Every structure is written in structure tokens, then in C-alpha cells.
Amino acid sequence: MSETFADLVACEDVLMFVNAAITSTGQREFRHWAGEQRLSLEFLHEYMLGNYRDMYAAVLALDINDHNAAIIVRNLLVRAGDVEAGRRRSEGRLIARRLEAMPQQRVYRVFRELRRCGVNNRRTRAIIRDWMAGRRDPAFDSVKYRAAVKDAVRHAHLRLRGEQRDFLFAPFSVKAYETPIYEQWRRAHYQQAAVYELPYTVAEGFAAKHKIPREVFLERIQPRMTRLERLRLQTSAQEAKAEAVRADLGEMPLTRLASYVLSLSLDERAARRAELSRALRTAARRVAGAARGSWGKVTAVLDDSYSALGSGQKRRRPLAVALAAHYLLEALATEYTPLWTSGRTDELLVCPSGPTPLGQRIIDALETGPERLLIVSDGWDNAPPGLAADVLRVWRTRLDPGHRLASGQKVMIVHLNPVYDADDFDVRRLAAGVPTAGVRDAEDLPALVGLARFAEGRLGLAELRAHLDDRAARFLGERA
């Protein structure tokens, strides 16, 4: 291998950034405040943009979270002039594709951010124009994100035609709109019945204006809610005696569902055991898809220590990821052993408490003789500290060098970490010989396990570049 030292550093830097971009949302974590997270993350972005701009852009094709995708898009556009036209074009394609995949409220936030930064180059205007032109239902957007759409239109000097322009800039100059949703919005100002034809977030404002009682409002607006709004409002709606608001748990994404389950009290979880575990299993099977049952014998060490509590902003997020991973691995494996750090065995009743004896659990896990060992933890091994690293080191150097299971077949050990460590600019690692990857949604687990082989140091920069290019090409190709 003709790897230079610089290549190794580059490889490490990019992986570090990918881990950060997957896990950190700039929100408060269990150990670090939001400010520390943001500061640390902003620095990483600047560093990547300055040193590895091509790979920085290509990261848009990976499963990084929307917060970081938005920062990347912004940074690339702010510093668009630094690179020549060809590169700008390819960056533009990546940005456009990423914006398509992002939730629209986040895209509008990016546009507003660009406006705030005073970025108004031709590329930016073209990107906004193209994205706005690609909206399926511009009228709906104009109603739901009225102020944001207005800002974007102003900023990109778009020429709107017909009712949309009137609606945004002179809404009451029109006696009656022809577009139904504009008309309902106009009527909702004085007619209660029209409120219920609007998107939930818009209707909420009108409901307050008309002083509609909460339960009546929730009952009637229920068909207009998105599925996540329904999930979010389910509990408070029941408190307000609006029984109609019911989320269909069967169609929820896995990690989101796990978060919901963990938000319930232990008694409620026990009472609804059948319903909840069925929903979780269904979601996991949907994620596993064709790979179901193809992973062989899997053992997982799952962290439910007190630090899995997350923070006020990311409530029980690390634990939710662990719980979702549990169900996903159950679906992927033929033989599956879960080991929670607290020693609990009932996964539906997990709650974050106690210390993190990762080392002991890893010994337990290795004793089950798995083909794959997955560790989902924030990496703060503290009972005792450093034992997990020792165990993994001894396992790799003394106990498993001959590949005990079968010759040439190592036990595959991967550590997935849902928490970004602001001090280290990376997710916290367990041991040098074991790859660590950041994880935000358990749904990405199979892809991350794939990416983790780079972190193990067996594959170099060239391969990493090839992998990123391949992902970017596929990402752009999906559009067709």
C-alpha cells in the first residue's frame, strides 16, 4: 500500500467529520451543552471546507442528518467563489439533490439563513429557483410556510405570476381566490368552518384567533395532521379529551417509534405491550427488508445506563437508538442475543439508570460466540473505566488472532455511538482495533456497519474517496 501519512490523516479527518455530521444536531447532549456542541461542530465544518472541499461536498450524499446537511449547503454557497466552475456545477447538483430529500421546512430555513448571511450569488438564486419550481404544490407551501416562502422569493428575485404573488404580497387585495387553499385561508379569517381545511400548524393560529375550544379543534382538524403531528399530539389530545387523534403506529419510522415508546410510563408500556412490540417489530422488518435473517449469529451490547437519558432537547435519544437497534438486529439476525448494560432482559421496559459496565457486558457477549458483535453505547465506559477497551484489545491481540470461529473469519465487532463528543470533535471510541461509527437513526445501521470498515484502518484514502464518489453517483442517479 502506498499510503502516505497525509492520506491517513485525511482519511481519519473525513471519517471524524462524517461521524459528527451523523450524530450532532447542535442540540444539548447529556454531557455537553448546546453551545459547546455548536461551537465544536462549526469548527469541524470550517476545517473540512478549508481542507477537503470535494469530500466535504460529497458527504451530502451520505446519511448525515439534516442539520449538518443544511450547514454544508450554506457553507458551500457562502464560499462558492473559491472553486472553479466545473466543481461548482457538481456541487450544485449535490446541493439540489440534497435539498429535494430534505423536509421543506428545513430547506426554507436554509434559504433564510442564506438571506441572513447576505449570500445572493447567481448559483444561490438558481438553486432556490430550481427548488421552488420543483415543488409539487406551491400553493400549499405558500400557505403553510407563508413567511418563509415570501423571504425566499424576495431573496432570489423570483417573478411569481397570478394568485401566488397576490397571496404572498397583497393578500387582501383579492376579493375571492380561485385556488381553493388560498380561498380557504382568506375565509378562515372570519369563518370558523374554513379553518379545518388548512394545514394543522396554520389552523392552530386561526383556532386561537376564533377562540375555538382545544378539544373541538383537535377533533376536527385531525384529518389534516401529518403522521408525525399525530404522533406528537396523541397524548396531549387525549388529555384534552379529543380521542380521534390517534397515530397509526404501524406506519411510523423505527427510531421515532422507539422514542415514542420510551416516552410512555412503564405501566402504560406494560399494559400496551402487545400493540407496542408488534408495531416495533413491523417497523424493524420493514427496515430490514430483503436482508432479513441474513446476518447469522448476532449479539448486541446495548447501553441503558443513566447517560442514555439524553437531554431536555434530545429526550432519551441514545436509549431510543439502542431500542430501535435491538428490534432491527432481531430482524436481521438468525440467532440474536441482546445484552443490556443494566442486566435487564425486558426490552420494552428499559429505562435509563445505573452505571455503564460495558467491559463486563462485552465479555458476556463474546462468550455467546457471535459472528457479529454490535455495541450501541455513548462510549463512556465507567464501571470500571477502560475495561471495555482492555477487553477488546486483549480479544483482538490474544484471544482471536487465529480467528477462533473459523479460519479467516473474524468476529466482526462494531461500535455504534449515538452521541457526539464536542471535546473530541468525534464520537467517543472504545478501542483502537474496533471501528466506531456515529449513528442517528437505527434505520441506517446496516449502511453504517458497511462504512465502519474504513474506520478500522484496513482501507485507505483511495478506497474512501471511491466509496464517497460511488455514493454520490448513486445519490444523484436516484433522481431519475
Using alpha carbons, list the distances in angstroms from residue 83 to 44, 53, 95, 121, 349: 20, 9, 15, 14, 53
Smallest gap from residue 12 Cβ to another protein (A): 23
Smallest gap from residue 380 Cβ to another protein (A): 8
**Element at 380 (helix H, strand E):** none
Smallest gap from residue 305 Cβ to another protein (A): 5
Task: Select 230 or 317, whichever has its Cβ closest to another protein.
Answer: 317
Smallest gap from residue 363 Cβ to another protein (A): 5
The strand ranges marked E within 382-480 are: 412-417, 420-421, 426-427, 436-438
Q: CA–CA separation, 178 vs 174, rounded Å?
A: 10
Q: How many residues in the chain?
A: 480
Task: Select 123 or 361, whichever has its Cβ closest to another protein.
Answer: 361
* Cβ neighbours for 442, distance < 8 A, ≥ 6 positions apart: 254, 255, 258, 287, 321, 324, 325, 327, 328
Closest CA to 448 of 418, 425, 472: 418
Smallest gap from residue 399 Cβ to another protein (A): 7
List beta partners, residue 385: 382
Interface ranges with another protein (CB under 8 A): 30-31, 305-307, 342, 353-356, 359-360, 363, 366-367, 382-387, 390-391, 393-395, 397-399
Smallest gap from residue 154 Cβ to another protein (A): 44
Burial (CB count within 10 angstroms: exposed 0-12, middle 13-18, buried 19+), residue 11: buried
Smallest gap from residue 315 Cβ to another protein (A): 16
Task: Select 307 or 436, whichever has its Cβ closest to another protein.
Answer: 307
Identity of the amino acid at 412: M
Using alpha carbons, list the distances in angstroms from residue 279 to 132, 249, 251, 263: 36, 6, 8, 15
List beta partners, residue 336: 298
Smallest gap from residue 426 Cβ to another protein (A): 19
| Collapsed DSSP state (helix, strand, coil) of residue 338 | strand
Burial (CB count within 10 angstroms: exposed 0-12, middle 13-18, buried 19+), residue 20: buried
Task: Select 182 or 395, whichever has its Cβ closest to another protein.
Answer: 395
Task: Select 30 or 327, whichever has its Cβ closest to another protein.
Answer: 30
Task: Select 161 or 398, whichever has its Cβ closest to another protein.
Answer: 398
CA angle 97, 102, 106 (to 5 degrees): 130
| Collapsed DSSP state (helix, strand, coil) of residue 241 | coil
Task: Select 120 or 368, whichever has its Cβ closest to another protein.
Answer: 368
Question: DSSP state, 176?
Answer: S
Q: CA–CA separation, 399 vs 80, rounded Å?
A: 52
Task: Select 159 or 398, whichever has its Cβ closest to another protein.
Answer: 398
Smallest gap from residue 31 Cβ to another protein (A): 5
Smallest gap from residue 367 Cβ to another protein (A): 5
Task: Select 238 or 397, whichever has its Cβ closest to another protein.
Answer: 397
Task: Select 286 or 396, whichever has its Cβ closest to another protein.
Answer: 396
Q: CA–CA separation, 46 vs 315, rounded Å?
A: 29
